[in-house]
Structure 1
Amino acid sequence: MRQLTFIKPGTFEWWDVPLPVISAPGDVLVRPVAVARCDLDLYIANGRAPFPGPFAMGHEMVGVVVETGDHVTRFRPGDQVVVPFQISCGECDNCRRGWTNACTAVPTRACFGMKPLSGVEFGGAISELLRVPFADHMLVRKPDGVTAEALASAPDNIPDGWRAVAPNLVANPGAAVLVIGGAAQSVGLYAAMSAVSLGASQVVYADTDQQRLWLAKAVGAEALELKAGHDMPALGSFPITVDASGDAEMLRLAIRSTAPCGVCTSVAIYYEDKVVLPFLRMYGAGITFHTGRVHARREMPDVIGHINCGHMHPERITSLVVPFSDAADAMADPAPKIVFRNDWT
């Protein structure tokens, strides 16, 4: 079958690889229908993220079940499903706690489309078929009233933005939210979209990029243009702040803009060995700082439910819809969110 394979920054190839097969009774085979480009995929493509190739690409996927293992009871061929990017069993102690990014039944950081994270190739979503283990736990049924393209980022980037605001708005209903956008392009926008959906009294999206500012307004946030520079004054005093910038100075700006006893969550990845944080201010103000990988499978039902009810519109953030056939050329496009549509079947 065809599989989009990352070779090195700027180089992708279509490889002919063996079709996956059912290898355990809880497996299913899924035919991808719509695959979103994760924010991290862009930085793999352009070399900012130091991932060595080759490996199969694509991990945000909506698809159709083609074949099921003997122990699969919740799904059957023809079902349309959303597939979380992280692989989890649903039965180990970590999964039962909701820590689905740290399942002990699979290698650490096991996921589709990013072999270097775990050292094991689980296949990529920009291909003809994908084997999904632990299917009864992993898969989430696609609602009939939502398109596959709208849900394509529900396996990763939408939950990533959601988790940065949802628990904090539960703890502090109606709180004002600040999102500082940047490298985690769509995740920051999805965080703003989620905050609007969850009833924040004010949602401010700050960024230096005009296209992302326009998209933030499209999902109901206030757009605040930033000028690149150092030692910018606080943008206010927000109980909930989100750093999606990937820039150390912008991260510190987010912390400066966090209210006393507030929460700042960073959804960006910092590849530098050292990032200086204002710990004295954080300590004195009682600021909680959170970073780390999303528990995607845990968050997906709430995310998909809000989309299905019309409270969130991720399609407004999608910049381009591109056929699979053009995926190799489009992977490094700087657009905030690209969705690849399967044009092979």
Structure 2
Amino acid sequence: MKAAVLREVGKPLQIEDVQISKPGPHEVLIRTAAAGLCHSDLHFMQGSYPHPLPAVLGHESSGIVEQVGSEVRTVKPGDHVITCLSAYCGHCEFCLTGSMSLCVSPETKRGKDDEPRLSAANGPMMQYLNLSSFAEHMLIHEHACVAIRKDMPLDVAALIGCSVTTGVGAAIHTSNVRPGETVAVIGCGGVGLAAVNGAAIAGASRIIAIDMVASKGNLAMEFGATDFIDASKTDAVKEVLEMTSGGVHHSFEAIGLAKTAEQCFNMLRRGGTANIIGMIPVGQMVSVMGAAFLGEKKLQGSLMGSNRFPVDMPRFVDFYMSGKLKLDHMISQRIKLEQVNEGFDEMKKGELARSVIVFDA
């Protein structure tokens, strides 16, 4: 199969022929329909986060099940599915206490002595985040995908695989936004826009979107923002504090920088919660004033929106089909696998919401 491979940090992805194994007892072979380009992929390409190489990147995807292993009970051939990088075992402490997204059980991966899921003619090939969706097929654990209704467009469904679940989940699960509360979101890429949309669905009374690119303002409004701050022209923290008479109940950082994480915390009201969604590069430190904790302000992380994806993702599909999730506005361009590097070049400019690779049926 054709796949986009990262062989060296800082270098473009290479389109190569990669071999894929057959499904084991709890595995599913999926024909990839679409895969979104996520900033997380770029972090690994640039070396901000380490990963064994060579590897097939990609983790925001949808597809159609072609084969299943002998013990698979969750999906069947012909099902339309959305994948999720937070594969879960179903019986560890995290899973049994409702924190499936925190599961790190090795049971969802093949063992060191097993045949690898992916391989290349000239040596091993690493699977990325349990998925490797920049490829014509994916071979994954059954607990890394969920079946969805077949009238859902698969190119749009791919977005639910990461950015939507991460952003909406951060609002409704991690921070538990309640009706009437106030929200600020720093960064209006795919994840940030999803957080805006999630806050709107949760009933937030005021949603302040913040970005360095002024053109993102109208887009944020379409997702439910009530206000927009162009951070390239003003002090975003000062603006938020003035607009809300002392700060917001919930703030969300969706870029992955120490500076914006600090701003996220500093724009809170007393008792507020700052949620760091973005992947701050390894080694960077976040500094906050210790006295601020006397006001019961909270700074917390959010991993994949604290999801229960087998339940959440079908519901998000229903939200889209009923008009509550504005995902059509999130796709800035549809590209082919061979254009993946051009897609990441566009991402670096910061002007697009999401690029989606669409594979031929």
Query: TM tier, shorter chain?
Result: 0.7 to 0.9
How far the C-alpha of 1:213 sits from its partner, in A, is 2.6
Which residue of structure 1 aligns with residue 258 of structure 2?
248
8 A Cα contact 2:251 2:267, kept in partner: yes
Distance 2:7 2:353 in 1: 23
Cα distance in 2 for partners of 1:314, 1:211 equals 18
* 1:291-310 matched pairs, under 5 angstroms: 291-294=301-304, 295-298=306-309, 299-310=312-323
In structure 1, the partner of 2:293 is 283
Tell me if structure 2 keeps the 8 A contact 1:143–1:308. Answer: no
Q: 1:276 to 1:13 in 2, by over 3 A?
A: closer
Deviates further, 58-67 or 45-54? 45-54
Q: Indicate the larger mover: 61-70 or 202-211.
A: 202-211
Compared CA separation, residues 234 and 332, structure 1 to 2 (3 A): same
Deviations 1:82-104 (A, max 9, x none): 11122222232322223233324
Rounded to whole Å, the distance in 2 between the matches of 1:284 and 1:320 is: 46
Instruction: State the alpha-carbon separation in 2 of the partners of residues 210 and 253 from structure 1.
Output: 19
Correspondence for 1:58 = 58
Q: Distance in 1 between matches of 2:233 and 2:54?
A: 36
Distance 1:289 1:253 in 2: 11
1:303 positional shift = 3.0
8 Å contact kept, 1:84–1:156? yes
Structure 1 residue aligned with 2:202: 198
Alignment match, 1:265: 275
TM-score (norm: length of structure 1): 0.86
Q: 1:72 to 1:272 in 2, by over 3 A?
A: closer
- Unaligned runs of 5+ residues in structure 2 are 111-116, 119-125, 242-246
Distance 1:130 1:109, change over 3 A: closer
Q: Which of these residues, 323, 329, 345, is aligned with residue 332 of structure 1?
A: 345
Cα distance in 2 for residues equivalent to 1:154 and 1:300: 7
**Are the counterparts in 2 of residues 262 and 287 from structure 1 also a CA contact under 8 Å?**
yes
Cα 1:171/1:242, change in 2 over 3 Å: closer
**Which deviates more, 97-106 or 283-292?**
97-106
Structure 1 residue ranges without an equivalent (≥5): 114-118
> How far apart are the structure 1 equivalents of 2:67 and 2:108?
27
The answer on 1:226 being equivalent to 2:225 is: no
- Encode CA deviations 1:24-60: one digit per residue, 9 max, x unaligned: x222110000111112113334555555632101111
Distance 2:38 2:44 in 1: 10
State which of 114, 124, 127 in structure 1 corresponds to 2:135.
Answer: 127
1:180 aligns with 2:186: yes
Shift of 1:241: 0.9
1:19 corresponds to: 20
Kindly state the Cα deviation for residue 107 of structure 1 after the two structures are TM-superposed: 7.3
Contact 2:32–2:133 (CA under 8 A) maintained in structure 1 = yes
TM-superposed CA distance for 1:171, in Å, is 6.0
| RMSD across aligned positions (CA) | 2.9
Letter in 2 for 1:7: R
Counterpart residue type for residue 135 of structure 2: S
Q: Which amino acid aligns with 1:285?
A: G
- TM normalised by structure 2 equals 0.82
